[in-house]
Structure 1
Amino acid sequence: MEGKTVFVDGALPGESVLMQYSSVRGKFDEGYVKEVLSRSADRVKPPCEFFEICGGCSLQHMSSEAQIEFKQSILKEHFEHFGNVQPETWLEPLQLDTLGYRKKARLGIRFVTKKDSCLVGFREKRSNFLAEIESCAVLMPKVSELIVPLRNLIGSMDAKQSTPQIELAAGDDALAFVVRHMEPLSEQDKEKWLNFAEENDIHLYFQPKGPDTVHKVWPNDNNDRLHYQLPDFDVELAFHPMDFTQVNTSVNRAMVSLAIDLLELNGEERVLDLFCGLGNFTIPLAKKSKAVIGVEGVDSMVKRGYENAKRNNLENVDFYQADLQQDFSEKEWAKEGFDKILIDPPRSGALDVVQYLPKFGASRVVYVSCNPSTLARDAGVLKEQGYRLVKAGVMDMFPHTAHVESIAVFERNN
């Protein structure tokens, strides 16, 4: 507007809207829609009745088809802007469950004294306050149905002012709640939580301080693992509720299968899996390769990787701990050669890895990314290192949000 870029929350391309400014900056301004004057054909009725107030989702007013096209356009623009590179072929977008998909989340909790009411959920749009919601269209249905019971439960407790959040995690077999409490719970509050967990078949954990204080309180079975399966590979992975796992089961299963297909394995390769976590790719890779090395920065995840290898009777896989954002060239595993490499870094990307990559000698690299800007930056570096970007595409891991999950394939030039 008037020669200056304005980002308008809630507007779709091609629409005319009345907007309210929310911030004025140097290079661009921000605002939000007050009224839609002319509608885009891509505008739809949001599936969640709380979309207008809740900040958990940002794109429910856009059709699913338009959302995935929007995310692919973001990836394309980032490749151009940050990497000066484009894929030779665009992969078909991967989009599956768009509602009830979220199996991992952090729910905020706040007791509002003036209303004598407890709020459970996500922050309001353009606010740090919690939104007053009674359900959530993207959380797995069981959790969505428990939002009102949770509000009532916590509102009845002595600790209603000192319980700031619940971490939830679900496997294929069970749902777990990790309840953060800032003060010791009374016996009455403990009893209420235990009854709630038993009635709703929830694995219940309390967290009085830091992450190392998380402990299971129900059921009392000395088993703190959840599980998920990757049916295409006939494997099952175990994880702790506080471990990093993907939020969307159906997309994760499809993503793992796609990534391994794109590596084009014949069963005789040595494969390197970097930023491997608990073995989400490593374990199925071991079913398709001669040998696999998984490298991960968090020591507890390395232990989980070995646990999952043993669980699946795999002896051709090893795990190592290393900070892959630092110089790792003196590590023994880094001096070995590999035929194929899979990379799945955090949002900061894999700059140190891609700079070192040619020394591994791999002919093909599959890069799974949760941040298109760092993927594009790293793609530019790989181009300089003698690799071609042969394929790329987006995967809708977080439908109805602007989060862009993507995958790219690089081949070494002859």
Structure 2
Amino acid sequence: MAQFYSAKRRVTTRQIITVTVNDLDPFGQGVARHNGKALFIPGLLPDERAEVVINDDKKHFALALVKRRLNDSPERVTPRCPYFGVCGGCQQQHASVALQQRSKRAALARMMKRDVDDIIAGEPWGYRRRARLSLSYQPKTQQLHMGFRKANARDIVDIRQCPVLMPQLEALLPGLHQCLASLKSVRQLGHVELVLADNGPLMVLRHTAALCAQDIEKLERFSHSQDLALYLAPQSEILEPLTDKAPWYQSEGLRLTFSPRDFIQVNDGVNQQMVTTALDWLDIQPTDRVLDLFCGMGNFTLPLARRAASVVGVEGVAALVEKGQQNAAQNELHNVTFFHENLEEDVTQQPWAQHGVDKVLLDPARAGAPGVMQHIIKLAPERVVYVSCNPATLARDSEALLNAGYHIQRLAMLDMFPHTGHLESMVLFEHH
């Protein structure tokens, strides 16, 4: 049965309140206090007053939107990107880099209940050597949209520039869009990945239907004109190289080759500093046996092997273990061994753990390493360096080491992703 509703709709007038922001959270939101709880306000900076409207009132905090800003912080800057505020990639381009780093440093110190000793940072612009751009054909306008997702939405922001991309990748965007938009298979394109290796840029094109010869010819012509290594991905797990140039990057003077789909640190400048600092903190001696957990394809493992007596790298992804072995062989490092293991299982039962370990490095994913900490404690290394991309899981995992008699000697904030809410860090633990 049809139901009819009165045209008289209930109108609720939301109260406008005036607040002063006193902090910036890692996600670029201003933090104020109202009625005894924290009020998070996107777009406001510390010391700014504004008229705001609460749009989501939770039990312990509330979210608000700015109606009118009454003053500007001296640390407010003009965003470099014309898409800032719409694109979901960056959250903090309106804040000075110094303010971004201070707020992240303070957030890390709060979570770790300890002062931060170092900030490891590089160039705040043009730092990303990898990007994945979504592709979506719009039938109504017959236009191809290429870009990143909108903040809190599935829609794509159609971009032609991105100042956080390395300039060599950013320069590709207008011509790449023009090339892709001209393909007969434009409706069957999924996304495009761009990576800048030390030996040149590469592109992976995901497509959901076979490309005709004419489309492949256009793509090859574009890739040749840009000296761009081209890969096609007809399925998520399949990669078809149309060039034979293997990408590589350098770490501590070593050459590491990788597949376009392999994980590599997005910020090369900070990665180089991070690896050097980790090695210095561990104080590697020529007699040391070192264990590298969640080792990937050897970003830390191989530089460690140049200083230590022997290094074991353990990784849960078989393809990365194979790549690590290849990289060790190519760099003529014979004192390093890679193992493909489930790191949730007791690593101390593995044959390579029977001879003892002097130092441990671990670089887990966002979920952290809760199942690994007790194994590390059993191995009783002198020093442990934990590299983290999630301060919440780092704080949780640290408790196990602290309770086992380890002490934090150094804590660094890694400014791996300027202008974003990502907070990376590195800790040195020592046993006394």
The CA deviation at 1:193 is: 1.1
The CA RMSD over aligned residues, in Å, is 1.7
**Cα deviation 1:281-307 (Å, max 9, x = unaligned):** 010101111111111111111111111
Question: Structure 1 length as normaliser, TM-score?
Answer: 0.92
**Cα deviation 1:73-101 (Å, max 9, x = unaligned):** 11112123xxxxx36xx322011111111
SS in 2 for 1:197: helix
Match of 1:41 in 2: 74
Query: Could you tell me how far apart the structure 2 residues matched to 1:322 and 1:210 are?
Result: 24
Query: Could you tell me how far apart the structure 2 residues matched to 1:190 and 1:34 are?
Result: 51
Match of 1:273 in 2: 292
Correspondence 1:74 to 2:95? no
Which stretch has the larger CA shift, 156-165 or 176-185? Answer: 156-165
Higher relative contact order (CA 8 A, sep 6+): 1
Identity of aligned residues (%): 39
Structure 2 letter corresponding to 1:361:
A
Match of 2:142 in 1: 116
Match of 1:358 in 2: 377
Query: Could you tell me how far apart the structure 2 residues matched to 1:367 and 1:272 are?
Result: 12
Query: Which of 350, 353, 360 is residue 334 of structure 1 equivalent to?
Result: 353
Match of 1:83 in 2: none
5+ long unaligned stretches in structure 2: 1-33
SS in 2 for 1:324: coil
SS in 2 for 1:131: strand
Query: Could you tell me how far apart the structure 2 residues matched to 1:377 and 1:150 are?
Result: 44
Match of 2:303 in 1: 284
Which stretch has the larger CA shift, 123-132 or 269-278? Answer: 123-132
Query: Could you tell me how far apart the structure 2 residues matched to 1:236 and 1:132 are?
Result: 36
The 3 A distance-change label for structure 1 pair 59 and 329 is: same
Query: Could you tell me how far apart the structure 1 residues matched to 2:284 and 2:306 are?
Result: 11
Which stretch has the larger CA shift, 20-29 or 39-48? Answer: 20-29
Query: Which of 144, 149, 152 is residue 178 of structure 2 equivalent to?
Result: 152
The CA deviation at 1:325 is: 2.9
SS in 1 for 2:144: strand
Bigger radius of gyration among the two: 2
Question: Structure 2 length as normaliser, TM-score?
Answer: 0.88
SS in 1 for 2:119: coil
5+ long unaligned stretches in structure 1: 81-85
Contact 1:121-1:147 at 8 Å conserved across structures:
no
Query: Which of 35, 44, 53 is residue 2 of structure 1 equivalent to?
Result: 35
Match of 1:185 in 2: 211
SS in 2 for 1:359: helix
Query: Could you tell me how far apart the structure 2 residues matched to 1:170 and 1:33 are?
Result: 39
The 3 A distance-change label for structure 1 pair 179 and 363 is: same
**Cα deviation 1:322-371 (Å, max 9, x = unaligned):** 11134434322233311111111111111122112122121111111111
Match of 1:207 in 2: 233
Contact 2:414-2:426 at 8 Å conserved across structures:
yes
Query: Could you tell me how far apart the structure 2 residues matched to 1:387 and 1:305 are?
Result: 30
**Cα deviation 1:22-78 (Å, max 9, x = unaligned):** 645454333444543222222111122221321111111111111111111111121
| Pairs within 5 Å for 1:240-259 | 240-259=259-278
Match of 1:264 in 2: 283
The CA deviation at 1:267 is: 1.8
The CA deviation at 1:189 is: 1.6
Match of 1:137 in 2: 163
Correspondence 1:51 to 2:70? no
**Cα deviation 1:159-184 (Å, max 9, x = unaligned):** 22221211222211121111111111
**Cα deviation 1:204-250 (Å, max 9, x = unaligned):** 11111122x11101x2x3x4x211112xx321111111000000111
Query: Could you tell me how far apart the structure 1 residues matched to 2:184 and 2:53 are?
Result: 41
| Pairs within 5 Å for 1:218-233 | 219=243, 221=244, 223=245, 225-230=246-251, 233=252
